[in-house]
Amino acid sequence: METLIQLTVTGLANGAILALAALGFALVYKATGVINFAQGDFLAVGAWAVFAAIATFGLHWSLALLFGVAVAVILAILVERFVLRPMIGESVIAVIMVTIGLSAVIRSILQMLFGTSPRRLPPVLPGGTVELAGAVVPVNRLVAIAAATVVLGAFTVFFKRSRHGIAMRAVADDQQAALTMGISVRRIFAMAWALAGISAVIGGLLIADIVGVSGEVATFGLIVFPVVILGGLDSIPGTIVGGAVIGLLVQYSAGYVGGGLQQVVPYIVLVLILLVRPYGLFGEIRIERV
């Protein structure tokens, strides 16, 4: 029972972070149709920016978070303007490869600035443990779950209620129709990237607090794919459910089966989903059949 609770809390915490990473991915895909293989590196940029602000400049963590958001937004907008806008109309292969190249460039810059050895962030989330039905659970995981839930909730409301959110959905649905309604598609593209950057900073901060800052942060970007495919590539609620399911699945297979199975389980799920229901649980059924 204690193991179960512990695995569940860890799984949900990882799932929450995954959902934040997947959210940025889904936002960009939904609005601009770009598959961003560099999402993991955006997480890393967020984590390192916050780390630099706290450890090097000695800022309070809330200011550091603002700094991280500023860095991520500027980076995201630059990327949209100078890398992905020239790629409009190119084939899927080209768009995928350009984001892969981008990911290598970002990783190399981070490596030059901060080196390869992992660092520890001065704790931002409350430390310590709390007892939950007999199981000892670290508090920061619970806080991570809560923080991610709040952010994901805020994004959901933003999409459902706010003018900009609705404009983004309109662009995602039909760019030409959105243009005729007076929506600036360019601005929406930039906004989608900026929001993806912001969600990456928050995700990156949570990862940094729990597992430390290193190049490893970027590998979270690859488990994003099982999450978004499971939830549906263009679905915001899908990322939440997908994140939770994958997070839990990894933890349960690590805790109960072991033998390194947890490394491959997300991808087996991925293949199965692709074979049975490629548009995922909540995605729009618009996949091209061959």
Q: What tokens appear for 115 in the block?
A: 């080196």
Could you tell me the CA-to-CA distances from 247 to 6, 19, 224 in Å, in that order?
Answer: 13, 9, 11
Give 97 or 132: the residue with its C-beta nearer to other proteins: 97
Strand partners for 132 = 135
Token pair 């459910």: residue: 241
Q: Which of 63, 94, 139, 146 binds other proteins (CB under 8 A)?
A: 94
Site map for other proteins, 112-151, x if CB under 8 A? x---------------------------------------
Per the CB < 8 A criterion, the answer to whether 25 and 242 are in contact is no
Q: One-letter amino acid identity for 241? A: V
Calpha distance 220→82 (Å, rounded): 25
268 scored as a contact of other proteins (CB under 8 A)? yes
Site map for other proteins, 26-45, x if CB under 8 A? ---------x----------
Question: Which of 162, 190, 164 is CA-nearest to residue 178?
Answer: 164
287 scored as a contact of other proteins (CB under 8 A)? yes
Q: Which stretch binds other proteins (CB under 8 A): 12-20, 102-110, 163-171, 177-185?
A: 102-110
Give 128 or 259: the residue with its C-beta nearer to other proteins: 259
Per the CB < 8 A criterion, the answer to whether 240 and 188 are in contact is no
Q: Which residues bind other proteins (CB under 8 A)?
A: 35, 83, 86-87, 90, 92-94, 96-98, 100-109, 111-112, 222, 225-226, 229, 259-260, 263-264, 267-268, 270-271, 274-275, 278, 287-290
